[in-house]
Copies of this chain bind each other. A is one copy, B any other.
Amino acid sequence: MARQNTLFKDAYNRYVAGLKPDAALPTEPEIAAELGVSRSTARAILMRLSDAGIISWNKRQKTVLRQPTEADFFPQEETNSLHDIIERSFMLRILSDEAQPGMQINELELAREIGTGTSVVREFLIRFSRFGLIEKRPNSHWILKGFTSEFALELADVREMFELHSAAQFGRMPVDHPAWTSLAAIQQEHYDLLEDFDERYRDFSQLDERFHLLIHRASKNRFIADFYDAIAIVFHYHYQWNKAFARVRNSRAIAEHLDYIEALQSRDPARIDTACRTHLASARQTLLQSIPQSAGEIGEADTSTVHG
């Protein structure tokens, strides 16, 4: 088949979840906008809802006839976009302990294992290559460079340059800029998390990501924003599978964040710089400690493949 209708299925599920009996549904363009899809897809959803007897549909008259049941939803696994499937599968593979730096990555084999065509895998690898974890030999295979300490150090260096820049920019924003409100909200979320830290310390990753994203937005620089997107994805998977010391790690980070936020709020450049540096230095240390020091670390090429 040429293409899975995962977008349709996912949007359908989302829409079904919000239906209440007897409600009158809005116009097609409104539904499309609400779901973030085209009107064609919105109409396909209405068509199916109508066929399933969940709504009655006659031109502008769209009424919910019954409460949707479990059976009305598409299975969860049919709603994952191919890209997400590949991303997860690939990340799992290359951040796992078996993946050694220098390994070759085979497009065809990867495609077969994931159960997809080669073009999607190819395009994924091209997109993924900007994260600096893989590299292409022209007319030949990809090489896994790996999540090594060199990678972490190079990443940390750039991250520090960018974040110092963004934080300084943040401090220069006009007092009435909405980002200050967002910052205060995030500050409050930090306090909330602390309240119930033992239960909720795992939620910190997500808060961390949002906090740094907010700061980077202040730079209004597409290269910085793109780089942070890349970092966020890599970290997302990395820390998801490296939970050692998560509690103490997050505890320290929260304290630093709160100090950093106050520094930003003071709008004092020197204080911002200091708080930012302190946090970045400890983030760097945390990152380095999270990397398993394997034997293959020293970078000799290994001719085995990534798939074992």
Contacts and interface: CB of A to CB of B under 8 A. Distances in A.
A99 B119 CA distance: 29
Contacts of A119: 119
Contacts of A60: none
Contacts of A122: 123
Contact of A162 (B7, B161, B219, B221): B161
Interface string A27-67: 00000000000100000000000000000000000000000
B161 A157 contact: no
A97 interface: no
Contact of A221 (B145, B157, B222, B223): B157
Interface stretch (A15-23, A125-133, A198-206, A292-300): A125-133
A154 B123 contact: no
A215 interface: no
Contacts of A223: 132, 154-155, 158, 227
B226 A154 contact: no
A221 B123 contact: no
Interface string A109-148: 0000000000100110011001010000001000001000
Interface residues of A, number: 27
A300 B65 CA distance: 44
A284 to B, nearest CB: 14
A304 B183 CA distance: 39
A144 to B, nearest CB: 14
A221 B158 contact: yes
Interface in A278-306: none
A165 interface: yes
Contacts of A226: 130, 132
Contacts of A155: 223
B154 A221 contact: yes
B222 A132 contact: yes
6 contacts: A132-B222, A145-B222, A151-B222, A154-B222, A155-B223, A157-B165
Given A119-B119, A154-B221, 19 more contacts: A7-B139, A38-B139, A122-B123, A123-B126, A126-B126, A130-B226, A132-B223, A145-B222, A154-B222, A154-B223, A155-B223, A157-B165, A157-B219, A158-B221, A158-B223, A158-B224, A161-B161, A161-B165, A223-B227
